[in-house]
Structure 1
């Protein structure tokens, strides 16, 4: 896991939460959707299929952990998990809490409206809640 460099787009659009065994966990800075991003810390990784079997298993575990935290914190209608990579090529996985009342329901969140960043205090409060819930 040496030489990891985060995509500038992911860095600009999200907030660092914690490093897990495989992934860096980040909060998408958009208050419209409770949204976590997992970025495997392997430089040059673009596709899920490039992961070793052990890494793929670890990624699956980390996705489940992120989804469980969102479920416990927000009680959503549905958890969406997606790994597209069409705009940001660096391998990353979105874990998004969705509600029938959200701005994009029932469609995807991508390309829906304008991102609304969290206010600084609310962002830090949510980050703290996630760290507590996830046990770091």
Structure 2
């Protein structure tokens, strides 16, 4: 019997741009220029919740989350607050949002979800995703434990 294959939810694919594959997750840029916003999508078929991952995968996802938060702070400074969420109400596939918030941004102080029309990066999205991918090389391999 063939092993299940990871498939990215079509809504996540439509709303974000691929940056890089980490040891466990795809790192993606949310295509909304109003907010510095990254997504981590574990490449684990059928995972809907954090608790669907075994302990090793949970620790790896936490390391990737820390890396994504550091990347966001470094590349989108200044960031006043980090919002981290795994809601899954509209897209059940397990994914984590890492959103850089700035006092006075388009949704401040409320949540970014449902805060008005998304403003896509347009033609700038691929270059921004590429720049973010290149900056990942600055993170030590030791920061991401082996799977």
For the pair 1:96 / 2:99, whether they are aligned, the reply is yes
Q: How does 1:1-136 map to 2 (within 5 A)?
A: 3-75=5-77, 76-120=79-123, 122-135=124-137
SS in 1 for 2:65: helix
| TM-score between the two structures when normalised by the length of structure 2 | 0.88
SS in 2 for 1:17: strand
1:124 to partner: Cα distance: 2.1
SS in 1 for 2:120: coil
In structure 1, C-alpha distance between the alignment counterparts of 2:111 and 2:16, rounded to whole Å: 18
Moved over 3 A (4+): none
Deviations 1:101-136 (A, max 9, x none): 21111111000000111121x212211220121118
How many equivalent residue pairs?
135
In structure 2, C-alpha distance between the alignment counterparts of 1:88 and 1:37, rounded to whole Å: 13
Deviations 1:21-51 (A, max 9, x none): 0001111001001100000001111010111
Unaligned stretches of 5+ in structure 2? 139-147
- Are the equivalent residues in 1 in contact too, given 2:17–2:126 (CA < 8 A)? no
